[in-house]
């Protein structure tokens, strides 16, 4: 939903081999109390269920140690204490202390997954959860206000669907990780609100609680693993229908608009019974109908579902996408930050953005692209950039290493 700030600045050089990043930041902790015992501590090192293998250019202990170090870097750079809520934490989205619901969802998932490695993980998760509840949407207070300024002054704004989907999923992770029933109850309440307010009668996903118009959606909000987890947590068959609708929309967008590339648009609309990319300026800017800073996350979301659920629908959608990647882009570091759906790069597009590159590593896992996967993982472990790139990068590393388990 949120176009990242300065997406082309501060690029990191690509290192061709997988390295352990070192222990420079591993001792940093944001809380003094010890973490409650983690029931699923990092690292999990689970058997990968998808068709493609795990990264092959380092052994698992090396890979997990490198991810732990990357988390220490991410934590020290982006997790900051609230200036107005005692004990609360937020993710520093804009380098000035502001945050967004998307960032809070990422932070809550990351801290839940890193419990066991980080003794402060539960404290941090609870602090992030407390912060997001302090700033409700002006339309539906079940959801988080999408943007909070650095001064944390009361903000009367609406919601963004992606943030609340990730927050709900993170609460399910927390229930599984620490065993507290309160997390599950919170998750069920939020999931119920999402189902009532953000899912249309045709099971497509709204952009936020402000989005009253029909036939508008954002493919990066299609999170099949989340929907499956929601169904399991609530018993509500609605989420099976949302999952199926999401795959249906993506398949139609590919078949009608990106047959040769498999690319996805940032936003899509329904016209004449068919889903199609939006025109420029639909919501966020000139690239709204292109593969840009929203849609770059789709390969991560679908690849994650294929890896955890062994879902053939996700693999079918990702296959043409990865064929185009390998044949036309050639190597992960060459991928630029934006493409038209015909595969032509946007004017001024720069290579080296982890939020574009790392999701393709997740897609490579489940489409049998071992060389691409290895190169992507090597890039991801050494890439340091801005909040959005680094957060998506870390979440993709958790999937590629088999550590992004399903609650």
Assign residue 48 a region: left if phi > 0, alpha if psi is -120 to 50, beta otherwise? beta
Radius of gyration of the chain (CA): 19
Q: How many CB atoms lie within 10 A of CB 28?
A: 13
Residue 29 binned pLDDT confidence (cut-offs 50, 70, 90): very low
pLDDT (average), residues 118-135: 98
The rounded distance, in Å, linking the Cα atoms of 94 and 96 is 5
Residue 59 has pLDDT above 90, yes or no: no
Domains of the chain: 57-198 (1.50.10.10), 243-407 (1.50.10.10)
**pLDDT above 90: residue 5:** no
Yes or no: say if 91 and 102 are a contact pair by the CB < 8 Å rule: no
What are the pLDDT digits (tens) for 309-355?
Answer: 999 999 999 999 999 999 999 999 999 999 999 999 999 999 999 99
Q: How far apart are CA 385 and CA 404, in angstroms?
A: 22
Per-residue pLDDT, 20:
31
Beta bridge partners of 275: 270
Task: Find the mean pLDDT for residues 16-45.
Answer: 54
Q: What is the pLDDT of residue 14?
A: 31
Whether this model's pTM surpasses 0.85: yes
End-to-end C-alpha distance for the chain, whole angstroms = 25
102 is catalytic: yes
Q: pLDDT-based confidence at 156, cuts 50/70/90?
A: confident
Is 162 a residue of the active site? Answer: yes
Out of 35, 162, 266, 390, pick the active-site residue. 162
Average pLDDT (107-111) is 98
Segment 238-263 shows an average pLDDT of 98
pLDDT at residue number 44: 85
For residue range 187-203, list pLDDT tens digits in order. 999 999 999 999 999 99
Q: How far is CA 149 from CA 45, 82, 92, 360, in A?
A: 38, 11, 10, 32
- pLDDT at residue 272 tops 50: yes
Q: Mapped to the 3 state alphabet, what secondary structure does 233-254 carry?
A: HHCCCHHHHHHHHHHHHHHHHH
For the residues 117-142, what does the mean pLDDT come to? 97
Q: Is the pLDDT of residue 58 over 70?
A: no
Bridge partner list, 339: 291, 345
* pLDDT (mean) for 88-106: 97
SS3 69: helix
DSSP, res 57: S
- pLDDT of residue 215 exceeding 90: yes
What is the four-CA torsion angle of 284, 229, 56, 334, rounded to 10 degrees?
-10
Mean pLDDT for the stretch of residues 287-299: 98
CA angle 51, 57, 60 (to 5 degrees): 80
Distance CA 165, CA 98 (A): 20
**pLDDT of 33 higher than 50:** no
3-state secondary structure of 83: coil
Active-site choice (102, 311, 374, 385): 102
Residue 352: predicted pLDDT: 96
Q: Which whole number is the average pLDDT over 35-54?
A: 71
Lowest-pLDDT range of 56-65, 370-379, 389-398: 56-65
Measured N-to-C along each axis, helices 161-178 and 181-197 cross at an angle, to the nearest 10 degrees, of 160
**Average confidence score pLDDT of the chain:** 90
Read off the pLDDT of residues 360-372 as tens digits, 9 standing for 90 and up: 999 999 999 999 9
């Amino acid at each position: 939903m949120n176009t990242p700030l300065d997406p082309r600045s501060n690029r990191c050089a690509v290192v061709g081999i997988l390295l352990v990043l070192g222990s420079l930041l591993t001792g940093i902790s944001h809380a003094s109390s010890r973490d409650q015992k983690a029931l699923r501590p990092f690292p999990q090192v689970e058997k990968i269920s998808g068709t493609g293998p795990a990264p092959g250019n380092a052994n698992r202990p090396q890979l997990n140690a490198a991810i732990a170090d990357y988390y220490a870097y991410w934590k020290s750079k982006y997790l900051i204490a609230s200036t107005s809520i005692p004990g609360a934490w937020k993710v520093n989205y804009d380098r000035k202390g502001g945050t967004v619901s998307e960032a809070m969802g990422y932070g809550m998932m990351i801290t839940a997954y890193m419990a066991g490695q980080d003794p402060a993980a539960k404290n941090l998760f609870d602090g992030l959860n407390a912060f997001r509840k302090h700033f409700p949407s002006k339309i539906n207070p079940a959801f988080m206000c999408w943007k909070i300024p650095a001064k944390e002054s009361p903000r009367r704004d609406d919601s963004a669907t992606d943030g609340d989907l990730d927050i709900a999923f993170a609460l399910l992770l927390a229930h599984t990780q620490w065993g507290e029933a309160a997390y599950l109850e919170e998750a069920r309440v939020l999931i119920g609100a999402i189902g009532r307010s953000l899912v249309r009668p045709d099971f497509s996903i709204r952009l936020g609680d402000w989005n009253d118009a029909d036939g508008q959606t954002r493919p990066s909000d299609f999170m099949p693993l989340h929907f499956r987890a929601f169904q399991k947590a609530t018993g509500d068959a609605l989420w099976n229908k949302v999952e199926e609708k999401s795959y249906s929309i993506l398949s139609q967008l590919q078949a009608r608009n990106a047959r040769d590339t498999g690319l996805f648009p940032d936003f899509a609309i329904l016209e004449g019974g068919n889903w199609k990319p939006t025109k420029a300026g639909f919501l966020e800017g000139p690239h709204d109908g292109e593969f840009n800073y929203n849609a770059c996350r789709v390969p991560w979301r679908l690849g994650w579902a294929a890896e955890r659920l062994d879902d053939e629908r996700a693999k079918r959608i990702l296959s043409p996408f990865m064929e185009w990647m390998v044949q036309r882009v050639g190597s992960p570091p060459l991928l630029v930050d934006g493409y038209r759906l015909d595969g032509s790069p946007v004017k001024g597009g720069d290579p080296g953005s982890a939020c574009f590159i790392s999701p393709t590593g997740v897609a490579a896992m489940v489409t049998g692209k071992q060389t691409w996967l290895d190169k992507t993982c090597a890039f991801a472990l050494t890439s340091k950039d801005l909040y959005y790139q680094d957060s998506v990068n870390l979440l993709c590393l958790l999937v590629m290493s088999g550590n992004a388990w399903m609650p």
